[in-house]
């Protein structure tokens, strides 16, 4: 069973990365429901986590091509900037925020650090 799961992930990582990208795009542009509970700046944590997962999924998709990792990092940061601009221009219920871009970038860079640590351990063994 575990072998089948590994094979599923290994062969289809690019599809998971695309799906995660589309989910983040959708969630970033949809109108968020009002829950009545507000925790100041909690969304920055959500942004960091989302972009960490996004970047890590793309890095793992191109695991065999480590020379692409910095391009992936740059593209994930650019995606975050584009989404913030879209929030401000095509929606009336969302606004752009420089701190969201910063939180996105922190998640992207943290994913790169974790990936590099994992890659280093993989090449040592």
Domain ranges of the chain: 2-30+41-124
C-alpha dihedral, 26 to 29 to 30 to 34, nearest 10°: 130
pLDDT in tens, the chain (125 residues): 566 666 666 667 889 999 999 999 999 998 877 766 676 778 899 999 999 999 999 999 988 887 899 999 999 999 999 999 999 999 888 888 899 999 999 999 999 999 999 876 665 44
Residue pair 82/75 in contact (Cβ under 8 Å)? The answer is no
pLDDT of residue 31: 85
């Amino acid at each position: 069973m575990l072998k089948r799961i590994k094979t599923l992930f290994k062969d289809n990582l690019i599809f998971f990365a695309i799906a995660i990208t589309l989910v983040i795009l959708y969630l970033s542009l949809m109108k968020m429901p009002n829950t009545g509970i507000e925790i100041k700046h909690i969304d920055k944590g959500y942004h960091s986590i989302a972009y960490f997962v996004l970047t890590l999924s793309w890095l793992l998709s191109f695991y065999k091509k480590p020379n692409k990792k910095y391009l992936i990092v740059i593209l994930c940061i650019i995606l975050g900037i584009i989404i913030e601009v879209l929030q401000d221009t095509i929606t009336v219920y969302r606004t752009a925020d420089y701190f969201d871009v910063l939180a996105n970038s922190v998640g992207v860079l943290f994913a790169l650090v974790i990936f590099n640590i994992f890659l280093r351990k993989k090449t040592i063994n």
